[in-house]
Structure 1
Amino acid sequence: MDVEDDNSYETSTLQVLELKTGDSLRDAIGLLYEKNVFGAPIADVIDSATTSGNFLDPYIGFIDFATMVLWSLEIGELAKSFLWDPFFPVHLNDTLFHVLLLLSKHRIQFVPVIEQFSSKVIAFVTQNAVIQLLLQSSGLEWFDSIADKPLSEFRFENDEHAVHLYGDQSIAEAMHILWENRIGAVAVVRRETERLIGCVTRSDLHLLLDNDDIFNNRKSLTVEKFIHLEASKVHSDPTIEGDLGALLSAGILTLKNKFLPRMDSPVTNRRTDTLKQTMKNLAETNCSSSFIVDELQRLKGVVTLRDMIVQFAPPCMDSRINGGGFFDSALEQTGCHIEKGTLVSDH
Structure 2
Amino acid sequence: MDSPPGTARSSPEAELGLRVEDLWDIQEPQLSPTEKLNSCFQSIPVSSFPPAPSSQVVEIPSDSTLADAVETLSKHKILSALVRNIEAAENATWIDRYIGIVEFAGIVVWLLHQSEVAAHNNMTGSAATAEVGANELAAKLGTVTLETTAAIMDGNVAISEGNNYGGTTVGCPELMDEAAVSMGGSFFETLTSSDFYKETKVKDISGSFRWAPFLAVQNSDSFLTMLLLLSKYRMKSLPVVDLGEEKISNIITQSAVVHMLAECVGLHWFEDWGTKKLSELGLPIMRPNKLVKVSEDEPVLKAFQQMRKRGIGGIPVVDVSGKKAIGSISIRDVQYLLTASNIYKDHRSITAKDFIMAVKNNLEHQDDSPMLMSIITCKRNDTIKDIILSLDAKEKQRIYVVNEEENLEGVITLRDIISRLVHEPHGYFGDFFDGVFPLPKNTMV
Larger Rg: 2
Q: Is the 8 A contact 1:178 1:185 kept in 2?
A: yes
Identity of aligned residues (%): 27
Partner-residue secondary structure (3-state), 1:100: helix
- Alignment partner, residue 12 of structure 1: 54
Judged with a 3 Å threshold, the aligned counterparts in structure 2 of structure 1 residues 275 and 234 are, in CA distance, closer, same or farther, namely farther
Rounded Cα–Cα distance in structure 2 between residues aligned with 1:184 and 1:119: 32
Partner-residue secondary structure (3-state), 1:61: strand
Q: Is the 8 A contact 2:275 2:385 kept in 1?
A: yes
The aligned runs of 1:171-182 (5 Å cut-off) are 171-182=300-311
Cα offsets for 1:296-317 (capped at 9, x unmatched): 2211000111111011124243
The answer to whether residue 211 in structure 2 is matched with residue 146 in structure 1 is no
Residue 110 of structure 1: how far off its partner (Å): 1.2
The TM-score normalised by the length of structure 2 is 0.58
Rounded Cα–Cα distance in structure 2 between residues aligned with 1:235 and 1:272: 34
Give the CA RMSD over aligned residues: 3.3
Partner-residue secondary structure (3-state), 1:97: helix
The answer to whether residue 144 in structure 2 is matched with residue 79 in structure 1 is yes
- Alignment partner, residue 334 of structure 2: 205
The TM-score normalised by the length of structure 1 is 0.72
- Alignment partner, residue 89 of structure 1: 216
Rounded Cα–Cα distance in structure 2 between residues aligned with 1:34 and 1:279: 26
Find 1:133's aligned residue among 222, 239, 260.
Answer: 260
The aligned runs of 1:315-334 (5 Å cut-off) are 315-318=424-427
Partner-residue secondary structure (3-state), 2:357: coil
Number of residue equivalences: 295
Find 1:41's aligned residue among 72, 82, 90.
Answer: 82
Residue 284 of structure 1: how far off its partner (Å): 0.8
Partner-residue secondary structure (3-state), 1:114: strand
Partner-residue secondary structure (3-state), 1:228: helix
- Alignment partner, residue 262 of structure 1: 372
Find 1:306's aligned residue among 412, 415, 420.
Answer: 415
Rounded Cα–Cα distance in structure 1 between residues aligned with 2:56 and 2:402: 40
Q: Letter of the aligned partner of 2:215 in structure 1?
A: F
When structure 1 is superposed on structure 2, of 93-102 and 105-114 the one drifting more is 93-102
Q: Is the 8 A contact 2:94 2:248 kept in 1?
A: no
Residue 282 of structure 1: how far off its partner (Å): 0.6
Q: Is the 8 A contact 2:231 2:415 kept in 1?
A: yes
Q: Letter of the aligned partner of 1:168 in structure 2?
A: D
- Alignment partner, residue 286 of structure 2: 158
Residue 162 of structure 1: how far off its partner (Å): 2.5
Structure that is richer in helix per residue: 2
Q: Is the 8 A contact 1:91 1:115 kept in 2?
A: yes
Residue 55 of structure 1: how far off its partner (Å): 7.7
Unaligned runs of 5+ in 2: 1-43, 116-137, 148-204, 429-445
Unaligned runs of 5+ in 1: 237-257, 320-347
Residue 117 of structure 1: how far off its partner (Å): 2.6
- Alignment partner, residue 58 of structure 1: 97
Rounded Cα–Cα distance in structure 1 between residues aligned with 2:276 and 2:337: 40
Partner-residue secondary structure (3-state), 1:180: helix
Rounded Cα–Cα distance in structure 2 between residues aligned with 1:105 and 1:198: 27
Residue 97 of structure 1: how far off its partner (Å): 2.6
The answer to whether residue 241 in structure 2 is matched with residue 114 in structure 1 is yes
Q: Is the 8 A contact 1:57 1:119 kept in 2?
A: no
Rounded Cα–Cα distance in structure 1 between residues aligned with 2:96 and 2:408: 44
> Which 4+ runs in 1 deviate beyond 6 A?
none
Structure that is richer in strand per residue: 1
Q: Is the 8 A contact 2:401 2:409 kept in 1?
A: yes
Q: Letter of the aligned partner of 1:85 in structure 2?
A: R
